Amino acid sequence: MPAGLRKGQIHRRAKVPLEPYWFMAPAVIMLATVYLGPMIYAVMTSTTHWVLTEPGSETIRAGLENYKDVLGAASFWQAVKITLLYTLTSVTLSLTLGTLLALLLDNELHFASFFRSIMLIPMVITPAVIAIFWKLLYEQEQGVLNSLLVAMGFAKVAWLGLDHAFFAMVIMDSWQNTPFFMLVILAGLQSVDSNLMDAARVDGANVFQRFRYVVLPHLVPYMLIAAAFRGIATMNDFDKIWLLTQGGPGEATTTITVYTYKIAFSSFDMGRTTAIAMIFVVIVLVASAPLLRHLFRTARRPA
Amino acid sequence: MTFTLSHSAKRLLLSLLCLCLGIVYLFPYAWMVLTGFRSAVDTLSLRFIFEPTLEGFRSVLGDSIFRAYMLNSIIVSTLTTVVVLTVAAPAAFALAHLPIRGTGFLLFVLVVRMVPGIAILIPIYLVASRLGVLDTHGVLIVLYATFNLPFAIWLLRGFFCDVPGEIREAAIIDGCSELQVFLKIMLPLTSSGIVATGVFVFIAAWNEFLFALALTNSFASTAPLAMVAFRSEYGVQWPSIGAAAFIISTPVVLFAVVMQRFLVRGLTMGSVKG
């Protein structure tokens, strides 16, 4: 038996192992041509004065002018601010609600698995569909939310008006993503060491102390990873926002993605648009660096 | 006695609480589905009791544009899934079992996934228009397949890692090539993981909006775009919109409920495992 194993190892070392790379070649080629290619092209485009409606303008060099223009535009920083606020509030809200639901579901319940299945629904529904039916709910004159408010004796709210559109967008996104946090945190809860809980109980820790000193520290990594994942996805959100508000009213819900899209298909200024996009890439990569580091460490560990 | 009674009473109460929360939670979606069954006259009334009608469904299904967009979605999502699995599975197998320095590639693959779609939309739009492939199924399939590769490789690698390496070594000693090991041993052993990954990819392709919006015009447009088309075409015809929304979301909702266990595993894998 050991002889056989050794033979296999010698065999492997003796031959130049090219085969593994053949298995990866199609994936590498696809990612390089369809992803890296356009990225490099975008970097090049961002240093030109290319406007689609002006033939020949793609050859006009611009150096870093586009970047200077974008970074000097108040509307760009407004979009950055809205993106970060949107991401922060939406992730915080769905993390909080998701944790509460997970704590509830961690009890022995009837039809717990049924509950878990139906909670998956919001996560997978087509975002374009989500935006449309939230628009229906937010309808100002006869929408169901306002009808409920009136029935309870409150005044109608202009959900998609200037004052509330931002929160309407946050509520819609949190609604969709609370179940994601619930499921990840539930997975965390179910791996809490029961010996530790028993020990804490014997030591006289009450329910809140047990949560604060035993459960919560165990959950923190789960919460951070889930928040990082959702945070990055939320920053990239486009379809739900576009269909709910088109970035309006005014610039109230214009995130960087919406801003980029608007500039691209209204000014046709490719240089400027790609400069915005590249700055956005840097923002996203910086924001996701801690997550990447963690995942890299996990991947390195022999599985 | 009293203890057990109160314990099961507590369980029942918590279960009921959960059920109520579930109903409240799904109310927005339920409301949209109900809208699809209303008549145009009482669309925006608050009444839960109403005479259901299939008017909305009839007008949507009778619409040739909607049917064409649905068909496009089925074609694009199915072929995307096939391409992703064909390309990702061998790569994931290599990263999990073959002597290869792969962690660097895995990181690269993840970084690629973090890049915002909007960032490469413009160059892709320009290249696609030069190649004359705007508004074709092919351009969407190639793009969706590439976007979903990183996640699929990451997910599948986890499933391949679950297969003990000794099985591969034994097969190699018996004279199998790596390709035979992959096709005859690894694929059957990871079939459930492959199906789960396929479902993920299908849902992602089915739901994609930005690239379909920017790169298609009408011939290759997909179902989510029908929502936009309907809104302008019918104005405030909410029953039609409700019916369309229900029809478009039903495939992914069914997938989610049927594949519940796999989806939860897929979501939490890579993110919290290890």
* Three-point CA angle B135, B138, B144, nearest 5°: 100
B228 touches A at CB < 8 Å: yes
65-104 in chain B: CB under 8 A from chain A: 86-88, 90-91, 93-96, 98-100, 102-103
SS3 call for A51: strand
* Distance in angstroms (rounded) separating the CA atoms of residues A139 and A215: 42
What value does the mean pLDDT take over residues A277-281? 92
What value does the mean pLDDT take over residues B168-182? 88
Query: Looking up tokens 């973090």, which residue turns up?
Result: B114
* Distance in angstroms (rounded) separating the CA atoms of residues B28 and A10: 62
Beta partners for A269? A51
B124 touches A at CB < 8 Å: yes
Tell me whether residues A235 and B116 touch, CB distance under 8 A.
yes
SS3 call for B240: helix
* Distance in angstroms (rounded) separating the CA atoms of residues B34 and B19: 20
Hey, which of A35-49, A112-126, B79-93 has the most confident mean pLDDT? B79-93
pLDDT of residue A8: 46
Hey, which of A162-166, B1-5, B258-262 has the most confident mean pLDDT? A162-166
- DSSP string of B1-34? -HHHHHHHHHHHHHHHHHHHHHHHHHHHHHHHHH
* Shortest CA gap B51–chain A (Å): 18
Q: Between the CA of residue B243 and those of B34, B39, B235, what are the distances in Å?
A: 9, 11, 15
Q: Between the CA of residue A205 and those of A143, A197, A200, A201, A219, what are the distances in Å?
A: 49, 9, 6, 5, 18
B269 touches A at CB < 8 Å: no
Query: Looking up tokens 């959900």, which residue turns up?
Result: A159
Question: A177 to chain B: which residues are within 8 Å by CB?
Answer: none
Tokens (6 digits) for A123:
């996560």
pLDDT of residue A69: 87
Phi first, then psi: give them for residue B233, nearest 5 degrees.
-70, -40
What value does the mean pLDDT take over residues A104-108? 84
Question: B106 to chain A: which residues are within 8 Å by CB?
Answer: 296, 299
% of chain A residues with pLDDT over 90:
32
pLDDT of residue A108: 79
SS3 call for A61: strand
Question: A139 to chain B: which residues are within 8 Å by CB?
Answer: 44
pLDDT in tens, B178-188: 888 899 889 99
Q: Between the CA of residue A16 and those of A140, B174, B178, what are the distances in Å?
A: 69, 20, 14
Nearest-by-Cβ selection for B224 from A17, A117, A128: A128
Query: Whose CA is closest to B208, among B76, B71, B30?
Result: B76
Phi first, then psi: give them for residue A69, nearest 5 degrees.
-60, -50
Residue A156 carries which DSSP code? P
pLDDT of residue A56: 76
Angle between helices B64-97 and A19-31 (to 10 degrees): 140
Rounded mean pLDDT of chain A? 85
Best of A41, A126, A286 to substitute, by most chain B Cβ atoms within 10 angstroms, is A126
SS3 call for A126: coil
* Shortest CA gap A56–chain B (Å): 14
Nearest CA in chain A to B270: A295
- Give 3-state DSSP helix, strand, coil % of chain B, rounded to 5: 80, 0, 20
ipTM of the complex: 0.86
> What burial letters (b/e) apply to B77-116, b meaning 16+ CB within 10 Å?
bebbbebbbebbbbbbbbbbbbebebeebbbebbbbbbbb
pLDDT in tens, A199-210: 888 888 888 888
Query: Whose CA is closest to A222, among A112, A137, A99, A115?
Result: A99
Contact B247, B60 (CB under 8 A): yes
SS3 call for B167: helix
What value does the mean pLDDT take over residues B201-208? 94
Phi first, then psi: give them for residue B102, nearest 5 degrees.
-115, -15
Evaluate if residue B61 carries a pLDDT over 90: no
B199 touches A at CB < 8 Å: no
Phi first, then psi: give them for residue A269, nearest 5 degrees.
-85, 95
Tell me whether residues A292 and B114 touch, CB distance under 8 A.
yes
Beta partners for A264? none
